[in-house]
């Protein structure tokens, strides 16, 4: 995957009915760290009061044992943030907590609301005062402004007004509510541990705390978990399901099961095998751009009967920023993260598997690094997804269309730009043949078929708004 080209969205975790709720939320967020590294927060309830702690940075750097002790109670929600709407500042870190007529609440939201700007403008005209620039806060204000009956009706009315992707957790003093948008864009799963219910963006969070997976939260479903047990409602309806296919390609952890117990690692291996069938080439070795390219590379190697090895080594200890040396070091930004194994690559015809090409600049540097630093004789790039031609507006921080090289260049033009000997992508047909019930997935980044419409504005205007 290209470093800093596509960023993960957010991760959410919730627990109801456990004496160590905040500790479990901490561990759940730790397992979901790959979904957001800008900030993290946990909100707990002791049955009478909500307790909130959040900060910028990584989960392990924020929460100490001392800080977790200040989050008492048997209910908790947590959130890892990567900003897709709203700037990267503390006030936008979630959960968002608010007090209104029916008592305090906190929300944690993974996704993006495409009509948030329009709703916010209308709410501000009515006197609403926003504390952040996050689109998630719109949901809080809609709930507070609702004039319907009970709290659940308010939530439903609010969510029927928003458009976009949301896997949402709502914490109240005595209950936990989980909702997934009717398109089912982002994953959300239900599990159980020690008699307590847990909710998470991915099942890898269940594995860490020893929880048992029960099922996915269904598209359009609202779950209420309180002293009366678990209650399910299906108040939200969409014309189709449109789960994000890029969760399989890159975003989700390989050990997770998402979208109906489909294992991410196995899916990626199948993408690689299909890629080999479509675009095999004479070569000596298959390597991957780590880490997300590894399963597809293994699948490619197995299908093509070629050896697989780790020809690029990733430094896993890179922080958010680093200081470049004053002297000019060629390709420093990539080299600090990746380094070729010359003994393995020298004189070899190498097939390099990656999950996507976004701008092409990093791919170009990797190809040169493999030739100059690794001594590779030939470099053949194979991409385990179709060309990315359109940005995502449903919770993924992708560049604008103008920055996506495949939106305006042919495969051959991209090959020349990155200086590879050959370049091939997995076909969209091949991708759909691998993914079960592919008609239930959003492929807009590959074919411009956006399942959720945008309010009154053209797509190009939406892109400028998110730029």
- Buried b / exposed e over 312-340, threshold 16 CB at 10 Å, is bebeeeeeeeeeeeeeeeebeebeebbeb
The verdict on whether 10 is a catalytic residue reads yes
Residue 397 DSSP SS3 = strand
Q: Which residues of 89-123 are buried (b: 16+ CB within 10 A; e: fewer)?
A: eeebbbbbbeeeeeebbbbbbbbbbbbbbbbbeeb
User: DSSP E strands: which ranges in 32-135?
Assistant: 39-45, 50-56, 75-81, 96-100, 103-113
Map residue 36 onto helix, strand or coil.
coil
Beta bridge partners, 380, equal: 351, 422
Query: Of these residues, 10, 43, 204, 244, which one is catalytic?
Result: 10
Q: DSSP class of residue 217?
A: P
Alpha carbons within 13 angstroms on the beta-carbon side of residue 363 total 29
| 243, two tokens | 């789960």
Give the tokens for residue 289: 């751009």
Residue whose C-alpha is closest to residue 169's, from 20, 45, 38: 45
Residue 424's contacts (CB-CB under 8 Å, 6 or more residues apart) are 275, 278, 279, 281, 381, 382, 383, 411
SS3 33: helix
Tokens representing residue 390 in the block: 């359109």
Q: Which residues are catalytic?
A: 10
């Amino acid at each position: 995957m290209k470093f800093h080209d596509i960023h993960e969205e957010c991760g959410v975790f919730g627990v109801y009915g456990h004496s160590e709720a905040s500790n479990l939320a901490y561990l759940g967020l730790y397992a979901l760290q790959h979904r957001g590294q800008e900030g993290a927060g946990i909100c707990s309830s002791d049955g009478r009061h909500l307790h909130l702690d959040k900060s910028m940075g990584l989960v392990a750097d924020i929460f100490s044992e001392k800080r977790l002790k200040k989050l008492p109670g048997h209910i908790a929600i947590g959130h890892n943030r990567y900003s897709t709407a709203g700037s990267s500042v503390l006030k936008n870190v979630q959960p968002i907590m608010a007090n209104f007529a029916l008592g305090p609440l906190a929300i944690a939201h993974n996704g993006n609301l495409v009509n948030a700007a329009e709703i916010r403008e209308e709410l501000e005209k009515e006197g609403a005062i926003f504390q952040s620039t996050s689109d998630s806060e719109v949901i809080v204000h809609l709930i507070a402004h609702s004039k319907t009956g009970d709290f659940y009706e308010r939530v439903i009315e609010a969510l029927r007004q928003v458009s976009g992707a949301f896997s949402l957790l709502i914490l109240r003093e005595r209950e936990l509510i989980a909702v997934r948008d009717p398109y089912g864009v982002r994953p959300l799963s239900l599990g159980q541990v020690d008699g307590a219910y847990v909710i998470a963006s991915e099942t890898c969070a269940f594995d860490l705390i020893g929880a048992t997976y029960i099922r996915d939260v269904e598209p359009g479903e609202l779950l209420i978990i309180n002293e009366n047990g678990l209650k399910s409602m299906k108040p939200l309806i969409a014309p189709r399901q449109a789960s994000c296919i890029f969760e399989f390609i890159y975003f989700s952890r390989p050990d997770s099961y998402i979208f109906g117990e489909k294992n991410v690692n196995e899916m990626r291996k199948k993408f690689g095998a299909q890629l080999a069938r479509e675009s095999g080439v004479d070569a000596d070795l298959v390597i991957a751009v780590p880490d997300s390219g590894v399963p597809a590379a293994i699948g490619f190697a197995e299908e093509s009967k070629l050896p697989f090895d780790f020809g690029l080594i990733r430094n896993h200890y890179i922080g958010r920023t680093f200081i470049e040396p004053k002297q000019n070091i060629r390709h420093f930004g990539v080299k600090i993260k990746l380094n070729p194994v010359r003994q393995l690559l020298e004189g070899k015809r190498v097939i390099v598997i990656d999950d996507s090409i976004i701008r092409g600049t990093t791919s170009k540097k990797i190809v040169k690094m493999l030739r100059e630093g690794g001594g590779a004789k030939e470099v053949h790039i194979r991409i385990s997804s179709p060309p990315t031609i359109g940005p995502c507006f449903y919770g993924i921080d992708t560049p604008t269309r103008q920055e996506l090289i495949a939106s305006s260049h042919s495969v051959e033009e991209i090959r020349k730009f990155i200086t590879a000997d050959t370049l091939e992508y997995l076909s969209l047909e091949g991708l759909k043949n691998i993914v079960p019930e592919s008609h239930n997935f959003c492929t807009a980044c590959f074919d411009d078929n956006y399942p959720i419409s945008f309010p009154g504005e053209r797509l190009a205007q939406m892109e400028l708004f998110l730029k």
